[in-house]
Structure formats: C-alpha cells, structure tokens
Amino acid sequence: MTAGGPYTTAATASSTSYTDASLANGTKYYYVVSALDSAGESANSTEKSATPAPAATAPTVPTNVAATAGDKQVTVTWSAIAGATAYHVKRATTSGGPYTQVAAPTSATYTDTSLTNGTSYYYVVSAVDAAGESANSSQVTAKPAAPVAVLAAPTGLTAKAGNAQVSLQWSGSTGATSYHVKRATTSGGPYTQVAAPTAASYADSGVANGTVYYYVVSAVNSAGESANSAEVNAKPVAPTGPPPAVDVTITVTPASQHAISPYIYGVNLASSLTNGPPSLTFDRAGGNRWTAYNWQTNASNAGSDYLYENDSFLSSSTTPAAAATNVISYDQSNGMASLVTFQMQGLVAADELGPVSIALPPLLSRFKTVVFEKGSAFTATPSPSDANVYMDEFIWAIDRKFGGQNIFGATPATQHVFAQLDNEPELWNSTHLEIQGSKTVTSDAYIAKTIALATALKKQFPNLVIFGPAHFGFYGIYAWNGELSPTPSGNNWFTDKYLAAIKAASASFGRPLVDVYDFHWYPEATDSAGARVTGLNGAVLTDDQVQAIVQSPRSLWDNTYQEKSWIAQGLGGPIDILGRLQAKIAAENPGMKLSITEYNNGGAQHIAGTIAQADNLGVFGAQSLFAANMWPLQANETYLLAGFRAYRNFDGANHSFGDTSITATSSNVGNVAVYVSTDTARPGRVVMVAINRSTSTQVTAINGQTLTGTAHLFQMTAASAKAQGVVQPVAAGSQAVSGASLTLSLPALSVTTVDIY
C-alpha cells in the first residue's frame, strides 16, 4: 500500500489476469508482476496502482425545480444533485413535451434567454454523471413578460367648483388600475390622499364653501405610483340669488311601473367591438352572412355584401356549428344571452370556393338544401357530403355542445340562447340573389316557412324563445316590400296577416310558435336637405343635422312627433312604430313580445349619436321592449357605445340603471326626456338618465318620485367627450336630495345619469 514496496505476494496465477478481492474501498494499492518458469523468477514489472470503489450509478432526479419569468427570459432553478457533473435543461412550448434540450449547465440554475413575451414555456431537468443521465424532473412552466413600467403622471387635470363640492377630471393613463386624488388647503401641499377612483374623474364632496382647495393626481399600476400631476385649485361656493327658472318639468308617476327586460342592452357582433361598453347583456349572431350559413361545414355566402361568394368568413373551423357555438361560448363567458340565426330561405353554401355566378340563380352545384325537420338519428358530426342540412339537427348539435346547461330551456344554468328565423327575408332577392333569384319570396310562402321551421325547432326544445320575422325595415312590416296594399290606419299590414297566421298555427301546435315579433330599424329621418341620419357620422354636424339625429328616437313611440321622412309622409303623420305594433299584437296575439335586433341612428363621431343612443335605451325600457341589438355601421362608434355607458357601469364601479321602469312624462320632450328607474336588488335607490337634446342649458324639475340621500351626477357633453379616447360619463358633482322633487341644470346637448342613494 506504499509506492515502491515493500511488496507482498498476493497470488500465483497461471493466466495473465488476476482479481484481487476483499480490499478496502478508498485505499490505494500498488502492484508489480513477475513471471516464473523452471529456471526461476523474472524481475518485477513496472509498478501500477488502483483504488477500489463501488460501481458508478446514474444520479437521482432533480427536485424542487422552479421557473421564474422575466422580460424575454425564464430562470430555472433546482436542488443540486451530489455527484452530478452536469444537468440537461429541456424546453417545450406544449405541456408534456416533446422537449428539446437547450442547455447543459454544471450548476443548479439556468437562465433561458431570447424568448417571446406572452408565450408559455415548459421545462424539465435531468442530472448527468459518468454513469449516465437521470430521468426528467417534474415539469414547471413560466410565461415571459415585459416589465410593467411605472406610469407617467396624469395630465389635463381640471377642477370645477360647485356647492360644497369640487369636480375633478383628467386624461386617463393607459395601463392605470387606479388613481390617487390628493388634496391640500395650501398651494404646494402637503397633500392628503382623499380617494382612489378607477375612472379618470372624481367628485370631492368633503369640502367647505369659501375655502380654496388644491389638488394633484397620480396614476397607479402594479409597478407602482407615478409622480403627481400639475396642481389645480377650486373654491366651492353656495349658489346665491333666487333659483333659476325651470325650463322643463318632468312628472314621475311611481304607481305606474313595470319590469325592464334585461335584453335591451344588446349589440350585434359583440366580440368584434373595439372599446365596447361594459356590462352588455345580449349579443346577436345575425345579419346577411347567416342566411346561407351551412352549420355542417361553417361555410357561408356573403351575398351582395361581397361578390356573392362562398367562403369561411364566419369560421374556418371544421367542427360543425362552430360559428354559432363560438359566439355562444364568448357570450356565456361575458355574461350575455345570445340570439342565433336558423336558416329558412332554403339553400346554404356547399363550399368555400369564392364568388358564385348570379347569371341564372341558383347555381345548385354550389349549395346544399335546407330541410327543417330530420326528426331523429341526429349526429353532431354529419358528413359534408350529405345532400341536406337539417335545422332541428343544428339546434340539437348546439345544445349537445353545451350539455347540461339547458341553454334553450326556460331556466338555463347560465345565460339564455334564443333562436331567430333567418334575416330580412323581404330582401333575399337582392341581398341573396345567388340563392333566391330575382323574385321576392311571397308573404304566404314566407309564413308557411316560418310555421314549419318554428314547429321543427319547438319539437326539440318546447321552451325555446323564437324571434321572427326579422324585417329589414318599415316597408317590410307595412307592405311586405310592395306585395300588399295596406292602409295607414288599417288592419291590413303584413304584421296583421302574420300575427293571425301564427296565432292559428300556434293553437294547432299547442304552444306559441313565434314568441317575439322582431324587426330592424334604421331611421329614414333626414335633415332639411334630405340627408338620412344614418349617414351623418362626421365629427362636425350642422344644428339641423344634430336635431335630425337626436329627435329620431321619438319616432319609435311619440304619437305627437312627425319626422322628415317618406315613412311619415306615407302614413300622413307620426310613425309611433312601437305603439302601432304593440296595439296590433295586443289585438291579435296577446303575450307576444317585441324586439329590434338591428338599429342605428347615426352620429357615430358626435355627441348627437350619444344622445340618440341613450334615448333609444331609455325608450326600450319605458316602452317594454323585450330585446334590442345595436348594429355598428362604422369602424369606430365610441360616441354611440357611450350611450350604453349612461346605463351600464356609468360610475366605473359597476352600478347600472335599475330593473324597474317608472313612468315619467316631460312638459317639453323635444328638449328634455328623463328616464327613471328603481331596482328590486337595491331598495330605496333611484337611477335616472336625463337627456337634453336642445342647444341650450335646460333647468329641469323632476317631481313625484320620493328621493332620499345624495344625487351623484355623471355626465357626457361635447366638451367632456372631446377630451376622451373612449367616450364615457365623468363625475359632475353631487347634491343632497329629500322629498319628491329634484332640480337639475342640464348642459346643452348632454346625457346625465343621476344615481340617488
């Protein structure tokens, strides 16, 4: 055991190898070898040494693996393994692999760089030594993200003094989660934080008249708090002199009330809206595209909207009914009910191969036949080669996708899904010339189709709520686009014919076949030069154009208002379309509801559009409409979407208009309309939306509703909207209320939400 000896003979071997056993591990031994024959023994060989040790084994699997995300990188750490000479770090972009080795560090940490922010990466680690490689560790994941920067200080801070209050407004900071409002009584501070609103406005009511207050605002996000804004100041003062003269009186009748349908706050194409309003309640999957939609393949036809082409515009998925179920899934996850279109014209796209010839329509080789009732043997994956496309199988397949949720039932587990019988049938010969041909479908044929399709759907889901006919506008309601010869005050409109036929068919079937009488309403009202309001969407409008827009909702209900339009001229007076249709329904088919699933009053880039949209929503609630869906006509309709914000989340704290409408009449509805609500979930709370259509301030007295507490005002005007990227209400102060009266000074061309509690 010592180099150079002395040596002890360990063994005499007859072969050229020998294993020396029973040695001590870790001790170094030295060996020489000599050869023997009959003549004697040779000299010793050169000395060699060796240290016995156990056989090598692969290391254990690394544990405590963790992944921490950074900016374009992930740092992976783990517990070191004794004896490991290196580690293999392996990465995947799909959970469970396959993994690709990205590094072989010798320490128990590795930073993986040059990754893509927003992508999830999955990692495992193995240990390596001379004996081999361990199994992979458990998987960890991380998603790199750019660091959140501290925001810049808010700008545009203004302070407006009132009676015992100061209203603050500033330009919102992108990425801010809240703001800190700070107040002082000395210029330059020290400041005390008084609020942390999430919206870019605040009404400070904890102040005394006659004192000057100084304010700064900072923005806050997860990275921290910005510097303070520039300082502003204001001095609250009590009003002096006699109260201003009242311009308009609103008379509220609390005993006259009814529930507001939750489905009036709806849009078309909700998922496509940019900066859409919060808290929408209803979404429609409808329009020209859906008439020739083939649920089996998701192909559809653009019709006259674009080259009459068959394509995959609604969905490129190969999963049957995906275009519809994707909409429903989006709506369910965003708290909205859905309206899905079922095909009734008779032909749907058979391919996605582009434009279809309209020389001799229909070119049947490019389309499949719609059959309303298959009855049984349904499948959620029908063969694309099937000759027919079945509507009862379509609704069955949708329901199966949402199994157990009862979406077509009377009491769904989540949100309702309703059915609409196609779209604008009076125009099929133009919008869908490729399948209808040039001849309009007759009213008799259309009604027969309605009864057949509604029957097929209700056999599957008896409590399904069905909308029809989805008229394109007034001329369809009145004369079925020229087929009929009605009279303005007569019972010979298409509506009368339809209601009578549906009533008779429903009696035979044993339950209502069509539950909601549905139409589209794009006002035909014009300015004095004949320009239709739906085309008045610029940022600059004349007073005449503004008034054409803001007065246009009155044609829905006001039997004293006559707009400038061919409709009013033909009827010889006010349109009052809701009143006329409700009277016909009450006389012929009581219990049927009313909806407007497409509408738009223009003014997309002007406060006039905000006023008209807010007025529409007030009318829908006051006039007991069941459902409504605004259709966007422009890419950017922030002014129109602002109309929803007057009713939904107007304060940035998710407070909304109530669920019960209280009758309120105006002494001058041409200037001011006020919509009044209470809420069954918030006893004692009253919410009003006051609309001033006039170009001057209107002092408005609201009498008759018992009020207690404080009226909190949120307002939209041309000036406040101009300073915003997304038009929305800003805090406009508060005032104590008691008794049964409230007086408001409403700015010219404004929408004011009043939350009283």
Which residues are designated catalytic? Answer: 424
Q: How far is CA 351 from the centre of its chain?
A: 30
Per the CB < 8 A criterion, the answer to whether 299 and 372 are in contact is no
3-state SS, residue 323: helix
Q: In angstroms, rounded to a whole number, what is the distance separating the alpha carbons of residues 100 and 503? A: 68
Q: In angstroms, rounded to a whole number, what is the distance separating the alpha carbons of residues 545 and 529? A: 9
For residue 308, how many C-alpha atoms fall within 13 Å in the half-sphere facing its CB? 19
Q: How far is CA 294 from the centre of its chain?
A: 25
Which tokens go with 189?
A: 């501070």
| Nearest Cα to Cα of residue 267 among 657, 608, 634, 599 | 599
The dihedrals phi and psi of 98, each to the nearest 5 degrees, come to: -70, 145
Q: In angstroms, rounded to a whole number, what is the distance separating the alpha carbons of residues 148 and 166? A: 33
Measured CA to CA in angstroms, residue 309 lies from 351, 352, 425 at distances of: 10, 8, 19
Q: In angstroms, rounded to a whole number, what is the distance separating the alpha carbons of residues 5 and 156? A: 94
Report the b/e string of 364-389 with b at 16+ CB within 10 A. eebbbebbbbbeeebeeebeeeeeeb
Per the CB < 8 A criterion, the answer to whether 327 and 281 are in contact is no
CB neighbourhood size of 68 (10 A): 12
Q: In angstroms, rounded to a whole number, what is the distance separating the alpha carbons of residues 225 and 176? A: 9
Q: In angstroms, rounded to a whole number, what is the distance separating the alpha carbons of residues 317 and 299? A: 9
The structure tokens 């369910």 sit at 332
Q: In angstroms, rounded to a whole number, what is the distance separating the alpha carbons of residues 687 and 676? A: 6
Report DSSP state, residue 390. E
Report DSSP state, residue 148. P
Contacts of 754 (CB under 8 A, 6+ apart): 686, 687, 688, 689, 690, 711, 712, 713, 714, 742, 744
Contacts of 181 (CB under 8 A, 6+ apart): 168, 193, 194, 195, 196, 197, 202, 204, 215, 217
Per the CB < 8 A criterion, the answer to whether 641 and 673 are in contact is no
Per the CB < 8 A criterion, the answer to whether 279 and 656 are in contact is yes
Q: In angstroms, rounded to a whole number, what is the distance separating the alpha carbons of residues 19 and 29? A: 13
For residue 13, how many C-alpha atoms fall within 13 Å in the half-sphere facing its CB? 11
Q: Tell me the sheet residues that pair with 37.
A: 40
The structure tokens 């660091």 sit at 147
Contacts of 109 (CB under 8 A, 6+ apart): 75, 76, 77, 78
Q: In angstroms, rounded to a whole number, what is the distance separating the alpha carbons of residues 379 and 381? A: 5
CB neighbourhood size of 117 (10 A): 14
CB neighbourhood size of 80 (10 A): 14
Per the CB < 8 A criterion, the answer to whether 650 and 656 are in contact is yes
- 471 CB-contact burial (10 Å; exposed 0-12 / middle 13-18 / buried 19+): buried
Which tokens go with 670?
A: 């041409």
Helix boundaries (H) for 219-349 = 322-333
Q: In angstroms, rounded to a whole number, what is the distance separating the alpha carbons of residues 216 and 665? A: 42
Per the CB < 8 A criterion, the answer to whether 741 and 706 are in contact is no
